Amino acid sequence: YYPVRVSQRSEIEVERRLSRLGKPTLLPIEFKWVRVSARGRWRKKQPYPMLPRYVFAAFRDADDWYGTLRDLAKQGFAGQERGVQGLVSSRGRFEPLSSQDVGFLASLPSLPPEGQPATNIHKALKPGGMAEIVEGPFAGQVVRVDSVSRRKAQVLLQVLDGMRLVE
């Protein structure tokens, strides 16, 4: 994987276009709440890149990179103003990231593949069903869902000597 420098606020679009060209990509993101209405009552979660102006993409060699850049330029998505601006080099050479760095980037949250909808957690959780805790001290533990109301779910969790009902 190579770090690719992109113009401001075009990281997600560049990542989608590179994926459509068949290039494996990594784009770590985080979700932030943004105001939708003028008075700030309505908010929605919006994805933002954790590393602004960078997308990580796999290329075989320099010719593969230049061919991809040519394809993006034909689509009008390469240049200083919009889209891909270039590869990031170290000491005058284009070097791929180490496998340790790629592993770290792959462990960070990213967008679901294009065409695959994100899971609606509130519709996915049903009383009596099983769920996996994904963050916090109980991450990785599978629990039984007892009840779901609005944005909270009560689950049965194994704590010390027995099962406890927690939110």
pLDDT, tens digit only, all 167 positions of the chain: 888 888 888 888 888 888 888 888 888 888 888 877 777 677 788 888 888 888 888 888 777 888 888 788 777 776 655 778 777 876 667 778 888 888 888 888 777 665 555 555 556 677 888 887 777 777 777 888 888 776 677 888 877 777 777 77
Strand partners, 57: 2, 25
Backbone angles phi, psi at 51, to 5 degrees: -120, 85
* pLDDT at res. 121: 55
